[in-house]
Structure 1
Amino acid sequence: MNSNNFRLPANVPAGRRSAAIAACTALAAGPLLLAAPAHATGVEGDGGGRASAVVLRTGLDVSLLNKAIDVPLKATLNEVQAPAGAEKTALTVKLDGVAGGQPVNVLKADVATAKASVDEKRAEGSTRLVNARLHLPGLPLLSLIEVGEVTSSAVCEAGRAPVAKSNVLGAVTVLGRKITLSAGGTTRVDVPGVGEVSLDLSRATTTSRTAAAVALQLKISVNPLHLNVADVKGEVTLAEATCRTPKAPPAKPQPSAPADPDKKPVETAVKTQNVADTELAETGGSSATPYLAGGAAVLLVGGAGALVLTRMRARGNRG
Structure 2
Amino acid sequence: MYTNNFRAPVRRWPAVALACALTAGPVALAGAAPVYATEGHGHAGASVLRTDLDVSLLNKSVQVPLTVSLNEVEAPQSARRTALTATLDGVDRGKPFSVLRAEVADAVATVEGDRAEASTTLADARLHVPGLPLLSLVEIEAVGSRAVCEAGTTPHASVTLPAAVTVLGKRVSLSAGGPTHVDVPGVGSVRLDLSTTATTSSTAAATALKLEVSVDPAKLNVAEVEGHLTLAESRCETPASAEEEPEAVAPDAPEKAEPAVGPQGARAGQAAPAETGLAETGGDSATPYVAAGAVALLAAGGGAVLLSRRGRRN
**Alignment equivalent of 1:200, drawn from 183, 193, 205:** 193
Write the mapping of 1:117-196 to structure 2, written as runs, cut at 5 A: 117-196=110-189
More helix by share: 1
The 1-side partners of 2:171 and 2:141 are apart by 12
The 2-side partners of 1:157 and 1:192 are apart by 48
Match of 2:34 in 1: 39
Match of 1:213 in 2: 206
Q: Which has the larger radius of gyration?
A: 1
**Alignment equivalent of 1:105, drawn from 98, 109, 113:** 98
For the 8 Å contact 2:144–2:160, the answer to whether it is kept is yes
Matched, 1:76 2:80: no
Match of 2:278 in 1: none
For the 8 Å contact 2:30–2:73, the answer to whether it is kept is no
- Give the Å deviation of 1:249: 2.5
Amino acid at match of 1:92: T
Match of 1:5 in 2: 9
- Give the Å deviation of 1:215: 0.4
Match of 2:260 in 1: none
Match of 2:233 in 1: 240
**SS of match in other structure, 1:250:** helix
Match of 1:60 in 2: 53
How many residues in Structure 1 have an aligned counterpart in Structure 2? 239
Cα separation, partners in 2 of 1:251 and 1:166, compared to 1, 3 Å: closer
- Give the Å deviation of 1:145: 0.2
For the 8 Å contact 1:212–1:240, the answer to whether it is kept is yes
**SS of match in other structure, 2:68:** strand
Match of 2:243 in 1: 250
**SS of match in other structure, 2:242:** coil
Question: Over aligned residue pairs, what C-alpha RMSD do you find?
Answer: 2.2
Amino acid at match of 1:142: L
Q: Deviations over 1:3-23 (max 9, x none)?
A: 5125355xxxxxxx4xx21x2
**SS of match in other structure, 2:161:** strand
Cα separation, partners in 2 of 1:132 and 1:251, compared to 1, 3 Å: closer
The 2-side partners of 1:101 and 1:159 are apart by 53
The 2-side partners of 1:89 and 1:35 are apart by 13
- Give the Å deviation of 1:41: 4.2
The 2-side partners of 1:41 and 1:187 are apart by 31
Amino acid at match of 1:39: P
The 1-side partners of 2:34 and 2:181 are apart by 31
Amino acid at match of 1:31: T
Match of 1:272 in 2: none
For the 8 Å contact 2:13–2:64, the answer to whether it is kept is no
The 2-side partners of 1:83 and 1:38 are apart by 16
Matched, 1:87 2:80: yes
Cα separation, partners in 2 of 1:41 and 1:203, compared to 1, 3 Å: closer
The 2-side partners of 1:251 and 1:203 are apart by 30
The 2-side partners of 1:37 and 1:163 are apart by 26
Identity %: 55
The 2-side partners of 1:8 and 1:237 are apart by 23
- Give the Å deviation of 1:170: 4.9
